[in-house]
């Protein structure tokens, strides 16, 4: 039979996580159904074994925008899509934390300098700073990710 995941984009679905996105990217593909307004007949959901998936605690006009979010999250993990696959390894949720802040040129912007550690050239200290900043941001903005059994 068809081994592809059968997904229904639905606000009552299980929240989409980076772990589920990775599973989908590694799998044989997916069939995505998008409901409109009141959704899809429960008999279709049951008969087709649809997995209901939510992209957040809000309501959209239909499942299509949610499907685009899902597609973007999955496609970027496929081999050859990102120019440098390593560039995605430190992004938010990949290690259970939000991503650290980023800085670029100029070295000072409206009186705000780049943190000294980032221009020090000390790769170990830079990695420690990035980890500490990621932990701080996660604690402030998404403490649920730091729970004993966080969604991933």
Among 131, 102, 98, CA closest to 115: 102
Per DSSP, 141 falls in state H
- How many CB atoms are closer than 10 A to CB 17? 15
pTM of the model: 0.77
Give buried/exposed letters for 125-150 (b at 16+ CB in 10 A, else e). Answer: ebeebbeebbeebbeeebeebeeeeb
Task: Give the pLDDT of residue 26.
Answer: 97
Among 10, 2, 8, CA closest to 27: 2
Task: Give the pLDDT of residue 1.
Answer: 87
Spans in the chain with pLDDT lower than 70: 84-94, 148-152
Query: What does the pLDDT look like over 91-131, one tens digit per residue?
Result: 666 678 999 999 999 999 999 999 999 999 999 999 999 99
Total residues found in the chain within this entry: 152
Task: Catalogue all structural domains in the chain, each as residue range(s) with its CATH number.
Answer: 5-75 (3.40.1280.10), 90-146 (1.10.1270.20)
* Residues 6 or more apart whose Cβ sits within 8 Å of residue 41: none
């Amino acid at each position: 039979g068809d081994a592809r995941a059968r997904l229904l984009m639905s606000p009552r679905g299980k929240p989409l996580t980076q772990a589920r996105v990775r599973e989908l990217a590694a799998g044989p593909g997916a069939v995505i159904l998008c409901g409109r307004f009141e959704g899809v007949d429960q008999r279709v959901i049951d008969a087709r074994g649809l997995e209901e998936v939510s992209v957040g605690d809000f309501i959209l006009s239909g499942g299509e925008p949610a499907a685009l979010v899902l597609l973007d999250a999955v496609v970027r993990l496929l081999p050859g899509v990102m120019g440098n696959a390593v560039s995605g390894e430190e992004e938010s949720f990949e290690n259970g934390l939000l991503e650290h802040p980023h800085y670029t040129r100029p070295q000072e912007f409206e009186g705000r300098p780049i943190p000294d550690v980032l221009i020090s050239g000390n790769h170990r200290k830079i990695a420690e700073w990035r980890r500490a900043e990621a932990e701080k941001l996660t604690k402030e903005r998404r403490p649920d990710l730091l729970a004993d059994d966080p969604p991933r």
